[in-house]
Amino acid sequence: MAGNRHSNIAIFIPHNGCPHQCAFCNQRTISGAVTQPTAEDVRKAVKNALRSPRFDGSNAEIAFFGGSFTAIDRDYMIELLEAAYAFVNAGQVAGIRISTRPDAIEDEILTILKKYGVTSIELGAQSMRDEVLEMNRRGHTAQDVVNASQLIKKYGFSLGLQMMTGLYGDDNVGARYTARQLAALRPDTVRIYPTVVLEGTLLADKMRSGEYIPQDCEAAAELCAQLLRFFERKRINVIKLGLHASDGVEGSMVGGAYHPAFRELCEGILYYNLIRQTLREKYPDGGDFVVYVPKADISKAAGQKKRNIARLALDGWHVVIKGEDAINGNERRKCQIKPVHQQDSQT
């Protein structure tokens, strides 16, 4: 996929078909949409997107997100798929992605999805602890996630799994357990969403009554940084970390972990850990250093509002971050550290 940026033409199916009202979900807020799209809306959205220079047929997928796609009225689902499939058939888009609930997957549904050019299926697993699923009124079990994932893979679809952190009744141990269970299912992609408490949800009520203390952004970022590292080591692509920055979420949020650049926060933590560990091993006595990282990673290495630099200074390491693309190493994050006097003598 190098050099060919993947992009989604996102079409939101708000709340339609959900047999449950999950404790954290205010579907209309997340999708920012209130009306059900028609087949004509799908055609218009795709045509509009294809006019943009950002898209070309080889990298764009039509993505039905935001609801329980396979649980909506069957005729309506097929209407939407037919509208989308016409673009796949004409070679204008690469495929179709859908997201749905783990208990809304069965042979018959998968046969239909295959027929209409669906390539990827994402399941909202959220947790692999049954008590957490129950407390958050998900209406499915961890075993449903296992069964649906296996069936999706058997049919040859790309499998995406979504998990949440900071749910009612969950903790960091539970989130790490969920991550391990999801990784064992060998998904192609993972999305991690720290819980954002939205107005009008059960979690908002429980938070106000003191029964539920949501995870704040700082704690969620520390945990999600670990989870990101975990999935990277398992060679599983984390394609999303944190809810999409949108006015809908920001306007309805009453608590929890939301940051418009949440992934950057997590990347910043991982860079801080890497740089600190290298400094501790090589230069435990502190001093002045230049830290070289790939140019694209300079702001991640410095951390949000340069907090990594400030934290390192508190421990006696005064660093300047510089971009250098010729750094070796197989890891996703790389750094090379030189004491300032050594760096000066080389230039």
Footprint of ligand SF4 (CB under 6 A):
15, 18, 20-22, 25, 27, 67-68, 101, 124
**Which of residues 164 and 319 has its CB atom nearest to ligand SF4 in the complex?**
164
- Min CB(138)–ligand SF4 separation in Å: 7
Q: CA 148, 149, 150 angle in degrees (round to 5)?
A: 95
Q: Which of 140, 227, 167, 148 has the alpha carbon at shortest distance from 192?
A: 227
**Which of residues 101 and 334 has its CB atom nearest to ligand SF4 in the complex?**
101
- Min CB(178)–ligand SF4 separation in Å: 16
* Cα-Cα end-to-end distance for the chain: 38
- For residue 5, what are the CA distances in angstroms to 44, 60, 61, 89, 191? 23, 9, 11, 21, 18
**Which of residues 124 and 194 has its CB atom nearest to ligand SF4 in the complex?**
124
- Min CB(133)–ligand SF4 separation in Å: 11
Q: Which of 159, 186, 57 has the alpha carbon at shortest distance from 99?
A: 159
Quick check: helix, strand or coil at residue 35?
coil
Quick check: 257 and 215 in contact, CB under 8 A? yes
**Which of residues 131 and 218 has its CB atom nearest to ligand SF4 in the complex?**
131
Burial of 164 (C-beta count, 10 Å sphere; 0-12/13-18/19+): buried
Count of beta carbons in the 10 Å neighbourhood of residue 316:
12
- Min CB(104)–ligand SF4 separation in Å: 9
Count of beta carbons in the 10 Å neighbourhood of residue 89:
11
Q: What token pair was written down for 88?
A: 């796949």
**Which of residues 21 and 278 has its CB atom nearest to ligand SF4 in the complex?**
21
- Min CB(187)–ligand SF4 separation in Å: 18
- Min CB(139)–ligand SF4 separation in Å: 8
**Which of residues 18 and 270 has its CB atom nearest to ligand SF4 in the complex?**
18
